Chain A
Amino acid sequence: MILVQQIVFIALLVAGITIFSRKLRHIRRNILLGRKEKITDHSWERWKRVILFAFGQKKMFRNWIPGILHLFVYLGFIIINIEIVEIILDGILGTHRLFLPYMKQAYPIFISAFEVLAVLVIIACSIFLIRRNVLHVKRFEQPEMTRWPRQDANNILIFEIILMLLFLTMNTSDQALQYLHERGYHHTGFFLISYPISKLFVHSSPAFLIGMERSAWWLHITGVLFFLNYLPYSKHFHILLAFPNTYYASLESSGKMPLMENIVPEVKNMLGLSDSSASLESGSEQAAVPEHFGAKDIFDLSWRHLLAAYSCTECGRCTAACPANLTGKKLSPRKIVMDTRDRLEEVGKNIDLHGQFIDDGKSLLDYISEEELRACTTCQACVVECPVSISPLAIILELRRYLVMEASQTPQDWNAMFTSIENNGAPWAFPPDERGRWAQS
Chain B
Amino acid sequence: MDNPIQIPTVAELQAKGEKPELLYWVGCAASFDQRAQRTARAVAQILTKAGILFAILGAEESCTGDPARRAGHEWLFQMMALKNIQTLNQYGIQQIVTSCPHCFHTLKNEYPELGGHYEVWHHTQLIEKLIREKRIQLREEKEERVTYHDSCYLGRANGIFDAPRDILKALHTQMHEMLHHRTRGMCCGAGGAQMWKEEEPGKTRVNIARTQEALDTKAQTIVAACPFCHIMLYDGVKHFGKEEEIRVKDIAELVAERLM
Contact = CB atoms under 8 A, between A and B. Distances in A.
Contacts of A328: 201-204
B158 to A, nearest CB: 6
B218 interface: no
B199 A323 contact: no
B252 to A, nearest CB: 13
Interface in B78-136: 78-80, 82-83, 86, 105, 109-110, 112-115
B76 interface: yes
A279 B113 CA distance: 9
A413 interface: yes
B74 A293 contact: yes
A281 B113 contact: yes
Contact of A376 (B156, B184, B185, B192): B192
A203 B196 CA distance: 78
A439 B32 contact: no
A429 to B, nearest CB: 9
What's the interface size class on A, roughly? 35 or more
B74 to A, nearest CB: 5
18 contacts: A259-B114, A260-B74, A264-B78, A264-B114, A267-B75, A326-B186, A328-B201, A329-B202, A381-B156, A397-B72, A414-B196, A417-B193, A425-B80, A426-B32, A427-B67, A435-B32, A435-B61, A440-B6
A42 interface: no
B43 to A, nearest CB: 11
Contacts of B183: 384
B68 to A, nearest CB: 6
Interface stretch (B23-31, B140-148, B161-169, B237-245): B23-31
B205 interface: yes
A438 B30 contact: yes
Contact of A379 (B62, B113, B152): B152
Interface string B190-208: 1111111111111111101
Interface of A: 62, 252-257, 259-260, 263-264, 267-268, 270-271, 273, 279-282, 293-294, 321, 323-324, 326-331, 371, 374-381, 383-384, 397, 400-405, 410-411, 413-414, 416-418, 421-422, 425-428, 430, 432-441
A327 B209 contact: yes
Given A268-B82, A279-B115, A381-B185, 10 more contacts: A255-B157, A257-B69, A326-B209, A330-B202, A377-B190, A377-B194, A381-B152, A384-B184, A417-B193, A430-B32
A261 to B, nearest CB: 8
What's the interface size class on B, roughly? 35 or more
A437 B37 CA distance: 10
A323 B209 contact: yes
A280 B116 CA distance: 11
Contacts of A414: 71, 193, 196-197
Nearest to B62: A425
A365 to B, nearest CB: 13
Contacts of A428: 28, 32
Contacts of B233: none
Contacts of B71: 400, 404, 410, 414, 417-418
Nearest to B30: A438
B138 interface: no
B153 interface: yes
Contact of A411 (B26, B153, B197): B197
A432 B62 contact: yes
A433 B61 CA distance: 10
Contacts of A252: 109
Contact of A436 (B31, B187, B190, B205): B31
Contact of B73 (A264, A418, A434): A418
Interface centre among B40, B59, B65, B193 (most CB of A within 10 A): B193
Contact of B187 (A323, A397, A400, A417): A323
B109 A255 contact: yes
Contacts of A417: 67-68, 71, 193, 196-197
Contacts of B6: 439-440
A277 B115 CA distance: 11
A42 to B, nearest CB: 16
Contacts of B198: 413
